[in-house]
Structure 1
Amino acid sequence: MSSPSSDLKGSCPSPFLQESAFPITGGFVPGRFCMPIAELQNLTCCLPCPLTDWTYSDGFESQTEIANWVNVAAFILSIYLILSFIVLPVKYTHRHYLSVCLTLGVVFLELAFIIPLAAKPDQCYNEITPNDMHSSGVCAISGAFLLFGGWAIIIWVFCRSLALHLQICWEVVPGDKFFYASLAFGWLIPIVGLALTLSLTGVSFRFGNVCHINHKDALQDFWGPLLAFAALGLVLQFITIGYCVHVYMKSFLDDKPTTNASSQAPTYSNSVRTLSARQTYRRVKKLVVLQWRGASIVLVIIAEVVFFSVVFVSMDNSTQVNEQLLQKATPWISCLVLAQGDKNQCLPYARGLVKSEGVVLAVLIILGLSGFWCLMFLGRWHMTQGWMEFFRLRFHRQHEFVSADARRLSTDPRTYEMLSGTGPPLNIQSPDRVLTSPNPRSDFSPEPDSKRDHFIPARAYVNPDSSYSYPRPPSHLQDWDPKSTHAKPGEAGKGYDVKIYKG
């Protein structure tokens, strides 16, 4: 850390700088850590920028870049997941618009940490003033991605929690209306929230190389609404889980054998109630098996957002310069003056003013893990098989093997061994038609044709004489001749009056 010149120090003790030496021309002026000193005729002295260099150890700034690299790895996984949703068939990915939009929100959040890693922005406008979104373009972009990504993640988590609640608890299948309403709600709310936050509060360099929201009206503009949607989604999720437990317990109690030894048959109402409980349990069980991934990622991401919000709000409140903070920081400030700016001697006094390095690093790294959670809960192992099949069809189709028997069959069909020697030549389909079978399982294990009669030539149908499958003209009536049947000649008139009419 380079020592400032004596002109900038003015009458302030080391390591403080005189505020009057830095006119207000830009940067985030409320981010200065300045205090009036009564002994020096109300002269205002400020700590050099950035403030984290004085409250944390020397390696803290480089440690915060770990979170940036974690987001780089998570970004690669998120892009892989999105490309799988776009390119691969549904049978490999089981994609859903709620999953796709949630992954996009995570990508925006990851870009907020990747851009500063590549741009290497300067955190300070001058020696005592940090940069903000008006003085640094990188700060504006990274802060906008961070706020928009946070809004998008929470809104789409809420939409997923609502959809799961409607399906399980109310037996309502979200249709087209829910689809369009979710798209409008899931993207318009983050856009409106970002516009209001940037215009009313703004972003600046608070700690690390990523711009975060400022303190002014941050609780009303950003943290309050964000935590409200997170709490609402969490409540819906807990209600859904409670309903599943209730259905399971009810079905479990109904499945118990009765202890009554009487031989009375069960009433109709009891049987209907038991059947209804079992049906409800099977329906809920099927939905839970299908939706457990979405329910898990809702709980994990909401826990992340709540943890980040609580830690950052407490850090933000602890660094606001006021009389209470100055009184609390008096031992630390006095130590810096006595030690002539050697911060290592005064770090024990600064521990009560800011969050520990472990907590700050944990918050930044946990935010980067959102991409890993998306791949873990929304991705599937079948995607790898789908990509292998995709590249095989794209790049290896022109090198497919054609046997000599197939070439000989094209010139002389009689050389092909048939199931029947008198059958017609076999009509062979191309491999493309086999791979594009309407059966989704045919691409993996096409079932062989077990109907051998398909290759046997058709036989001529001989209609029997006694067939009534088609109308016949009436035959001429003739006398009944007992010799034409098996009846005995003398039995024609026994007990019967047989009369024959002619004409």
Structure 2
Amino acid sequence: MEPFTLLNITHACPAPLIASPISNYTSKTCIGGCCLPCPFINNFYPPAQIDTIYTALSIVRVLSFVCILTIVISYSMQQSKRENPAMIVLLLNAFLLVFLSVTFFYIGNHKDIQCADKFTQSTMENNILCGIQGVLLILSTFLLILYCLLLILQLHVQAVWKSNLLQRYYVHTQVFIWMISLSFTFIPAATKNISFDFGAVCLVSGKISITMFWTPLAIFVIPAFLIHFMTFIHISRAQWMLARDFENSSLGTVITRSSISVGGPITGQDVLNVIKIQWRSLLLTMILISTFIVFMIYSILATHQLSPFLSDSTDLSPWIFEWISCLMNYQSTNNGQMYLHGLDSKGDHGAGDLVGQRRINDPEDCSVKDNITGCKPSFVFSISILYDSETCVEPLFIISILTD
């Protein structure tokens, strides 16, 4: 990496960089006193776009909170709903209420949670709100998933095995659920691995999120889906057989076209009748497993791609160095700012449109000329691509994930 020659530091830092209070300060997100503002991921999107999205999501979450609160209050006022096994449903909704309540930590100003100051992203050490919100979110997530598993497992045991085993060991299951949830909350909190990485909330730090958050959750979520699917098949089969038996008994010994078909193959109408009865629970389970898988995959990918920002190292990552250097070297030109937002001086897309190319082997093929900065991150769906316009090196991909 070639040495960077800083321009006159009396000039204002080019957008989106902002001036550090420490002159010529250099860190993993700063060069010569010009730094990426917190939150870092917002700098790769048009101004205020991410905050607008999170504000909209926050409104949805607040409305959801009100709806769940209504359910919890209604259940609490009914004696029958406060007894086992209905109590599990009440607890499930109560922990969902806690899960949604973390929205109130950042609604109105997301940076209260995201940032410790203008240049530093939050951790539980530099932002107490981040720590409290992170603990509540981790604990409520595990409790929510485990009580969902318990509800699914109880239905399976009763419907398939005709057993009340879980009801007999109700206290034991409660102790197990709380021990697991508190353990996976205590470990990241005790090791100070709760931080803001991306999205709108603080969660388990990307350094240990796979082993201490996503993998443990997967151990419970995936079996819950499989168990519920087995229960769905069993109940569907039982309902189909019951319907056939009822049809047979109602027809008696009268020989008709319908009675002859009794005991024959399952028809499309039979399948539709079963789905009409069972589709809600199956749909909720499908949403649970698909949402979990999507969030887990994108979180892991985003953590890997954003590792230069999330690591403990104070060294400047090569691609961050090149990008910030590029911005600062072209701060005196209009192209430098216009290319940051994807347009050249004529309003057309320019050098940044090298989207999807893994490598440009021939410098002559590079569309970047001397009068073009190439400083802009290009966006394709949720993938940002950065590259060095001078050397045409391999683009670097940043997968930016919106989580709430």
What TM bracket, shorter-length normalisation? 0.5 to 0.7
Aligned counterpart for 1:81 among listed residues 66, 71, 80: 71
Give the distance between the partners of 1:22 and 1:95, measured in 2 at CA: 64
Which entry has the higher C-alpha Rg, 1 or 2? 1
Of 26, 39, 42 in structure 2, the residue corresponding to residue 53 of structure 1 is: 42
CA contact (8 A) 1:98 1:160 kept: yes
The answer to whether 1:228 aligns with 2:228 is: no
Task: State the secondary structure of the residue aligned to 1:351.
Answer: strand
Does residue 205 of structure 2 align to residue 214 of structure 1? yes
Which residue number in structure 1 is paired with residue 341 of structure 2? 344
2:392 match: none
How do residues 447-458 of structure 1 correspond to structure 2 at under 5 angstroms? none
Within-5 A mapping of 1:190-205: 190-200=181-191, 202-205=193-196
- Counterparts of 1:103-118 in structure 2, within 5 Å, are 103-117=93-107
2:294 is matched with: 307
State how far apart, in whole Å, the 2-side matches of 1:104 and 1:190 are: 15
Equivalent pair of 1:157/1:298 in contact (CA under 8 Å): no
Residue 320 of structure 1 corresponds to: 307
Contact kept, 8 Å, 1:13 with 1:337, in 2: the verdict is no
The alpha carbon displacement at 1:327 in A equals 6.5
Task: Give the Å deviation of 1:90.
Answer: 3.8
**1:139 to partner: Cα distance:** 0.8
Q: 1:339 to 1:177 in 2, by over 3 A?
A: farther
Q: CA deviation at 1:169?
A: 2.0
Paired residue type of 1:344? H
CA distance in 1 between counterparts of 2:164 and 2:227 reads 16
Which blocks of at least 5 consecutive residues in structure 2 are unaligned?
1-7, 249-262, 264-272, 343-375, 386-396
Q: Matches of 1:13 and 1:240 in 2, distance apart?
A: 56
Matched with 2:119 is 128
Cα separation, partners in 2 of 1:338 and 1:53, compared to 1, 3 Å: farther
Helix, strand or coil at the partner of 2:169: helix
Report how many aligned residue pairs link the two structures. Answer: 313
Output the CA distance in 1 between the equivalents of 2:46 and 2:179: 42
The 2-side partners of 1:189 and 1:337 are apart by 50
Aligned-residue sequence identity (percent) comes to 19
Letter in 2 for 1:193: F
Q: 1:22 to 1:158 in 2, by over 3 A?
A: farther
Q: CA deviation at 1:106?
A: 0.9
- In structure 1, runs of 5+ residues without a counterpart are 25-31, 38-42, 258-273, 275-284, 365-503
Q: CA RMSD of the aligned region, Å?
A: 4.5
Task: Judge conservation of contact 1:34–1:44 (CA < 8 Å) in 2.
Answer: no
- SS of the aligned residue for 2:120 comes to coil
TM-score normalised to structure 2 length: 0.63
Q: Contact conserved, 1:315 with 1:355, CA < 8 A, in 2? A: yes
Shift of 1:99: 0.9
Contact 1:57–1:344, Cα closer than 8 Å, also in 2: yes
Q: TM-score, normalised by structure 1?
A: 0.52
- 3-state SS of paired residue (1:195): helix
Partner of 1:153: 144
Distance 1:98 1:339 in 2: 61
1:160 CA drift (Å): 1.4
Counterparts of 2:329 and 2:161 in 1: how far apart (Å)?
A: 68
| Structure 1 residues 182 and 256, CA gap change in structure 2 (3 angstroms) | same
Residue 149 of structure 2 contacts residue 221 of structure 2 at CA under 8 Å; is this kept in 1?
Answer: yes
Letter in 2 for 1:71: R
Q: CA deviation at 1:238?
A: 2.3
